[in-house]
Amino acid sequence: MSTSILQPLVGGETVVCDETVDLRGVDGVPVARVGVAPTLLLQLALRRVRGAAVPSEVFGRAGTLFAEAELAGESADEYRRRVVAATGLPYRVVGDGLHSVRNGLAQLEESNARQLPAPAPGVRWVPRGRTLGIVTPSNHVDPHLTWARALSLGYGVIVRPGTRDPFTPFRLAAALLAAGLPPHCLAVVPGDHQLGERLLDASDLGMVYGGPAAVNRWADHPRVLTRGPGRSTVLLDQHLSPDIVDALARSVAGDAGVRCANTSVIRTSGDPAEVADVLAARLDALPTLPADHPDAVLPSFSAEQAAQLRRTVAELEQAGFRRHSAADGPVPLPDGSCAARPVVLSTTDPGHPSVGTELPFPFVVVTPWSAADGLEPFGRTLALSVFSDDEQLPWPPSRSRRSGGSSSAGRRPGRAGRSCRTTAA
């Protein structure tokens, strides 16, 4: 795989920057050289980018091109392999994300219509601004549909790519422009953390994906939407059955366990150690394969990242958490990367401050819960899946709820259970 060069894109024109950084894969091999946009270039993009009314057909064509075509000299398969090399995401997960974005683009008009106010006399939708600045993630392809949606609503969009995955926004931008998006609608400006901060601060509206630091920095900003750790949780109030164990395993390890909708905490009315033993046995059976293997289901990390993740797990064990999984985190692979083996811990202290720790691979803590606790211990959680026959559970009135279906993580309730998804108000 040759090393590609990615330079900022403003108004359909590539801007060659003198300063570049080398992006290495999880195995240490260079994958790309990325231009670093200076502040002046960001200011130019902010002046030039503006929205437009774009026909929905453009997004449908862009989705097909994104998933299938050769763009900027790169085939769809070459793109997948480059993302896998740089991020450590399994080949299959990148492919699923690619096709998910294609399908999402094809359905943008329909999904927008469901979310905008229904046509009625005296009612019309008014955008809150003209430009969206977004700092995108590197943990999955799917979130990039978000900024494409903003384009479909008439916003001008400026993207600062994630440091591990600059490939997806450049490929999606190439697909959109080839499909007929007016060039002045979009800019892609790779850069450092400060550039992302300036972008969010200067745009009419902003969106940032990141860890706790990024979320805390922008959480109370009236114009910036944060997308950070989900701390997604399962409430298990039923006896374990094979179906429930399958559902728990999917909720923890589906999509390689990298998404904020993956479960990181299970609160159970049963014996936490028993639940953790059964779940660990199921997850320990997952294969250890390099991320570019077609059957890989676990993410890979560099040796340095892997060492940090193992230290975090060791610190939790030292803090009293009991490990039930065979591995304590990522294990070395022959190519120099490390495959992140699942980790299942338990604690008898449901109020331990480290309950809710979220790591970027299949990782979960099982802890006690009783009906007398209600839902208060769950706190802010992106996805709450409930396995219970108790119809009297005290749902918090201040949160939206969807029950009886599957969550965004694809988890499903047991036959007698319920599933719901809550979003913090």
3-state secondary structure 152-207: HCCCEEEEECCCCCCHHHHHHHHHHHHHCCCHHHEEECCCCHHHHHHHHHHCCEEE
Give the pLDDT band (50/70/90) at residue 159.
very high
The mean per-residue pLDDT over the stretch 334-338 comes to 95
* Residue of 265 and 119 predicted with greater confidence: 265
Give Rg (Cα) of the chain. Answer: 22
CA distance 337 to 344: 22
Phi (first) and psi of residue 74, to 5 degrees:
-125, 130
pLDDT given for residue 263 in this prediction: 96
Residue 368 pLDDT exceeds 90: yes
pLDDT given for residue 425 in this prediction: 23
The mean per-residue pLDDT over the stretch 392-419 comes to 41
pLDDT given for residue 122 in this prediction: 85
Residue 268 pLDDT exceeds 50: yes
The mean per-residue pLDDT over the stretch 165-182 comes to 98
The mean per-residue pLDDT over the stretch 80-90 comes to 97
CA distance 425 to 23: 38
Residue 307 pLDDT exceeds 70: yes
pLDDT given for residue 4 in this prediction: 83
Provide the mean pLDDT of the chain: 90
Q: Report pLDDT digits (tens) over 41-57.
A: 999 999 999 999 999 99
CA distance 217 to 221: 8
CA distance 88 to 138: 10
What residues contact residue 153 under an 8 Å CB cut-off, 6+ apart?
112, 127
Give the pLDDT band (50/70/90) at residue 1.
low
pLDDT given for residue 249 in this prediction: 98
* Residue of 188 and 389 predicted with greater confidence: 188
Q: Residue 295 gets which letter from DSSP?
A: T
pLDDT given for residue 363 in this prediction: 98
The mean per-residue pLDDT over the stretch 153-178 comes to 97
What residues contact residue 273 under an 8 Å CB cut-off, 6+ apart?
322, 324, 346, 366
3-class SS of residue 307: helix
Give the pLDDT band (50/70/90) at residue 211.
confident
Residue 422 pLDDT exceeds 50: no
pLDDT given for residue 412 in this prediction: 35
CA distance 391 to 3: 57
The mean per-residue pLDDT over the stretch 304-333 comes to 97
The mean per-residue pLDDT over the stretch 81-95 comes to 97
Using an 8 Å Cβ cutoff, are 51 and 156 in contact?
yes
The mean per-residue pLDDT over the stretch 109-137 comes to 90
pLDDT given for residue 168 in this prediction: 97
pLDDT given for residue 254 in this prediction: 95
Report helix angle 91-106 to 56-68, nearest 10: 160
Residue 377 pLDDT exceeds 90: no
Give the pLDDT band (50/70/90) at residue 34.
very high
Residue 404 pLDDT exceeds 50: no
Sheet holding 4-6, edge to edge: 4-6, 30-35, 20-24
Residue 421 pLDDT exceeds 60: no
The mean per-residue pLDDT over the stretch 198-219 comes to 91
Residue with tokens 């499903």: 412
pLDDT given for residue 406 in this prediction: 31
Residue with tokens 């979130």: 143
The pTM (predicted TM-score) of the whole model is: 0.88
